[in-house]
């Protein structure tokens, strides 16, 4: 199962990528919302989960979240929002997500949520036509 990590901080993308890969997930990283949407346009199968930072250049997390939810295919992918400071509280009200995790990240909580939302059943339900392909 694949997790899409969208964060403008290379250190966070790397840390999350390593932690998720140790748990057996395939990880795709994007530096902003625009890159994430470009990936999703050709992804097969779709990721089982998206970890989405709120504050990013080019296309921020709120803009990306709205684009995800406006596409019926992508709207089924669970999104966990990541952010710090006042932006986290604003996001909690404006962008309903399966969870919101403040920075600095609680990695144990994040991995627990990944296990909860990255189930084989969920992976099959969002993209069976590409399920046999194991691309990155």
Task: Looking at the structure, give the CATH architecture of the domain made up of residues 2-130.
Answer: 3-Layer(aba) Sandwich (3.40)
State pTM to two decimals. Answer: 0.82
Q: What is the pLDDT of residues 13-48, one digit of tens each?
A: 999 999 999 999 999 999 999 999 999 999 989 999
On whether the CB atoms of residues 87 and 55 are closer than 8 A, the answer is yes
d(CA 27, CA 135): 11
What does the pLDDT read at residue 89? Answer: 67
Return the domain boundaries, the chain.
2-130
What does the pLDDT read at residue 27? Answer: 94
Q: What is the pLDDT of residues 77-96, one digit of tens each?
A: 999 988 876 666 666 666 77
d(CA 136, CA 40): 11
* Mean confidence (pLDDT) of the chain: 82
What does the pLDDT read at residue 77? Answer: 93
């Amino acid at each position: 199962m694949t997790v899409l990590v969208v964060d403008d901080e290379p250190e966070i993308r790397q840390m999350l990528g390593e932690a998720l890969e140790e748990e057996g997930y395939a990880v795709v990283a994007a530096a902003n919302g625009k890159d994430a949407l470009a990936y999703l346009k050709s992804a097969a199968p779709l990721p089982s989960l998206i970890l989405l930072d709120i504050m990013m250049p080019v296309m921020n997390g709120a803009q990306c979240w709205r684009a995800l939810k406006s596409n019926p295919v992508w709207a089924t992918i669970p999104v966990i929002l990541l952010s710090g400071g006042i932006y986290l509280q604003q996001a909690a009200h404006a962008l309903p997500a399966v969870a919101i995790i403040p920075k600095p990240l609680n990695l144990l909580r994040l991995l627990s949520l990944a296990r909860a939302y990255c189930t084989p059943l969920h992976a099959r339900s969002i993209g069976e036509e590409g399920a046999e392909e194991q691309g990155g």
